Structure 1
Amino acid sequence: MKDSDLQYVLALQHVPNLGDVSAKKLIRHTGSAEAVFKEKKSALLKIDGIGNTKLSYLFSSENLKAAEKELEFILRNKVKTLYYENSDYPERLKHCLDGPILLFERGNIQLDNRKILSIVGTRKATTHGISFCERFIEELAPLNPVIVSGFAYGIDIAAQRAAIKHNLQTVGCLAHGLNHMYPAVHQKYVAGVENNGGFLTDFWSTDTFDRNNFLKRNRIIAGMSEATVVIESAEKGGSLVTADIANSYSREVFAVPGRPTDLQSKGCNMLIKSQQAHVMTSAADLIYMLNWHPQTPVKAVQKQLFVELEEDEQALYGYLKDRGKEQLDLIALNCSIPTFRAATLLLNMELKGVVKPLPGKLFEAV
């Protein structure tokens, strides 16, 4: 996009009371952001849903002046911009009516043909929640998903740290401009995120810090992902907002159940109870529901492949050879291996071509 075109997009994004839904209507009607500002107000008022209130600030000279200053910041700091009609804009977010018309990126985010998963949760995460989050991402690692979160305290940063540990791409969606980083204590993780993905935001460098920004930011987290996972949440919180937005976008939502007495499980339990989220006890649940199994044909087992199997993998393979088709829980029980560990092993074995998954959480040896 040319700098002159970008300035008009920025100016449209700056218009008070307009919003992304109305901005897209104006662009669609006139053909471009620049054309919006050059169209007669009387013609714009004929657009469905566009009234005097939304257009009251459109023709103020302040919009282009502010856009010029922000464009200077973008060029000076080599910020990448993602316009909603361009191919580098997150594909799933394009289909969200209220998705931002423009995103700002730091890092090197690659989303093409990728499995994209949002992981959110309370800022006051328990050791149990953090441990589950780390194990969950370890189980998913063979599928090479992109992990999206909010770079906040608690579950968010635990998910992004685990993604970095397993060399997975991760995206931090920020509730502020790219001129600073919040919380400041997470500055030490910035390089790791940028080396394994990057940061996205639709806020300008001049936007004031406001807690309502976090709720607005959540639509990006929910919108760019195939599914959203809530690992821990109190009875109220931003994670539940993200889950609600994901549901409104017709995306899958998963929640990790907890004891009724655990304060940080009340939100997850409520989502499950009200059928707003699937129960998730391990990565195997999500893999099955999203059909995230490898799509490449399973090769016939070669004898020399046995030497490539770990001891526990050999035990699982021998069990399935004897029993035929078997459910994950029974495989784990009869092989005396924890379910989460068995799920990871079976996934690795599937990638090696020695087992294949079947409907109903069944597995069989090839």
Structure 2
Amino acid sequence: MVEEQNLYEVALTKLPGVGPQLTRLLVSYCGAPKAVFDAPPGKLLKIPGVGNGLVRNIRDGARGALLQAEEILKQAAAQEVQILFYTSPKYPDRLKQQVDAPTLLYFRGNGNLNQKRIISIVGTRQVTNYGQTVTERIVEDLKPYHVVVVSGLAYGVDIVAHRAALQAGLPTIGVMASGPETIYPAVHRKYAERMLTQGGLLTENSFGTKPDAPRFPARNRIIAGMSDCTIVVEAALKSGTLITADIAHSYDKEVMAVPGNITSPVSEGTNYLIRSLKAAAYTSGKDLVELLNWDLEDEAAAKAKAKTSAYDPANFDPDEQKVMQVLLKSREEHMDNLSWKAQVPVSLLASVLLGLEFKGVVKALPGKRFVLV
């Protein structure tokens, strides 16, 4: 059943004239990819934007699309590639929200594309010693926050970021402009293979796709779209890296840039991003943490954990547990109500409540009312 579902998901992306937005529209109206192929022309024509030409494409192209999809599924199975349709729970949720997100992704690896915190690090291929040092420091700053590091597997800042993440024990995802079986540049294969067990490799391109130049800007939107923040380390004023930053900015994602030497060509881009207010300056991990409110998130999580721990049944005797169960449901009760709801005699309840007050989990209010702290 799952394989049949995958077959129609892939086949839908192979129909002529059916792009990502139209795919979503067809699935939304028909209910599932297979239903698009099974739908009568009259039903399809009722969908906004669908005309006779597209209906013919679906009807006449169905067989060829299904044959292509069958071959792709065979290759995916042979090479341990996961095919992620946009409705898959494994598909990156952050990316899915963007209007130009790919309908289908090919993924090799064990990384979580929906991890709580995902940061992309991008930059020039002509990375300087300063850029390399800063990139490694950024990854080190990210280590306590269990972040997934995303980049493009390219020369320069990209591979430095991947390598630093591997060394730090952080999962790292390489987004490629080629098919899932092609590592480009090939010299990075040893890092890519390590990433398969500590992150993974992601692409929107099917098997056999070469990393042609026009595919790199398209690749960049995935890097920007699946991350909480894009950090630009070094970049020339006119570069693919700035395209990534512009895309992230257009997605209302946070962008940060590392200030650089004003005489360095590869710092012109980062300094421009900061000067034009398209990026916040990254000078330390604290800047990122405060920008994304990670400190507040962690503080709230710690308080919630402490509260949960405080209410652990193992910390209370049987009568205290009965009282706690009532207060957990109602939050606040009068002493008389507590007695009959918890089935604890009034003569005993006073001492039980006093003990809970000493443990810091219950507070007495005027009028013999009690509430959880």
TM-score if structure 1 supplies the norm length?
A: 0.76
C-alpha separation between the residues in 2 aligned to 1:56 and 1:280?
53
Deviations 1:141-200 (A, max 9, x none): 111111011111111110010001100011111111122211000011122211211111
Q: Residue 147 of structure 1: SS of its match in structure 2?
A: strand
Which sits farther off after the overlay, 199-208 or 127-136?
199-208
Contact 1:173 1:201 in 2 (8 A): yes
Contact 1:17 1:53 in 2 (8 A): no
Match of 1:233 in 2: 235
Contact 1:260 1:266 in 2 (8 A): yes
Match of 2:104 in 1: 102
**Structure 1: stretches of 5+ with no match in the other structure:** 301-366
Match of 1:297 in 2: 302
Alignment of 1:227-266 (within 5 A): 227-266=229-268
Q: Who wins on radius of gyration, i.e. which is larger?
A: 2
Match of 2:27 in 1: 27
Q: Residue 171 of structure 1: SS of its match in structure 2?
A: strand
Contact 2:184 2:211 in 1 (8 A): no
The question of 1:8 aligning with 2:8 is answered yes
Change (3 A) 1:163 1:258: same
Contact 1:18 1:55 in 2 (8 A): no
Alignment of 1:321-360 (within 5 A): none
Read off the aligned partner of 1:187 and give its amino acid letter.
R
C-alpha separation between the residues in 1 aligned to 2:220 and 2:38?
33
C-alpha separation between the residues in 2 aligned to 1:208 and 1:111?
24
Alignment of 1:93-172 (within 5 A): 93-172=95-174
Contact 1:119 1:230 in 2 (8 A): yes
Change (3 A) 1:241 1:73: same
Question: How far 1:112 sits from its partner (Å)?
Answer: 4.7
Match of 1:334 in 2: none
C-alpha separation between the residues in 2 aligned to 1:54 and 1:232?
45
Contact 2:150 2:172 in 1 (8 A): yes
The question of 1:203 aligning with 2:205 is answered yes
Aligned-residue Cα RMSD (Å) equals 2.2
C-alpha separation between the residues in 1 aligned to 2:54 and 2:265?
42
Aligned partner (choices 67, 70, 85) of residue 68 of structure 1: 70
Alignment of 1:37-56 (within 5 A): 37-51=37-51
Aligned partner (choices 178, 182, 186) of residue 180 of structure 1: 182
Deviations 1:114-137 (A, max 9, x none): 211011111111111111000111
Change (3 A) 1:48 1:123: farther
C-alpha separation between the residues in 1 aligned to 2:53 and 2:111?
37
Aligned partner (choices 255, 276, 280) of residue 278 of structure 2: 276
C-alpha separation between the residues in 1 aligned to 2:216 and 2:155?
13
Aligned partner (choices 79, 82, 98) of residue 81 of structure 2: 79
How many residues are treated as equivalent by the alignment? 300
C-alpha separation between the residues in 2 aligned to 1:160 and 1:255?
18
Q: Residue 225 of structure 1: SS of its match in structure 2?
A: coil
C-alpha separation between the residues in 1 aligned to 2:31 and 2:147?
36
**Identity score, percent:** 43
C-alpha separation between the residues in 1 aligned to 2:41 and 2:282?
52
Read off the aligned partner of 1:221 and give its amino acid letter.
I
Q: Residue 14 of structure 1: SS of its match in structure 2?
A: coil
Q: Residue 140 of structure 2: SS of its match in structure 1?
A: helix
Question: How far 1:284 sits from its partner (Å)?
Answer: 1.5
C-alpha separation between the residues in 1 aligned to 2:124 and 2:260?
13
C-alpha separation between the residues in 2 aligned to 1:254 and 1:56?
47
Contact 1:258 1:269 in 2 (8 A): yes
Contact 2:166 2:198 in 1 (8 A): yes
Question: How far 1:108 sits from its partner (Å)?
Answer: 0.3
Change (3 A) 1:16 1:279: farther
C-alpha separation between the residues in 2 aligned to 1:210 and 1:46?
38
TM-score if structure 2 supplies the norm length?
A: 0.75
C-alpha separation between the residues in 1 aligned to 2:278 and 2:55?
37
Question: How far 1:51 sits from its partner (Å)?
Answer: 4.9
Deviations 1:293-338 (A, max 9, x none): 23343899xxxxxxxxxxxxxxxxxxxxxxxxxxxxxxxxxxxxxx
Question: How far 1:106 sits from its partner (Å)?
Answer: 0.9
Contact 2:91 2:113 in 1 (8 A): no
Question: How far 1:16 sits from its partner (Å)?
Answer: 3.9
Question: How far 1:41 sits from its partner (Å)?
Answer: 4.2
C-alpha separation between the residues in 2 aligned to 1:45 and 1:256?
52
Change (3 A) 1:56 1:179: farther
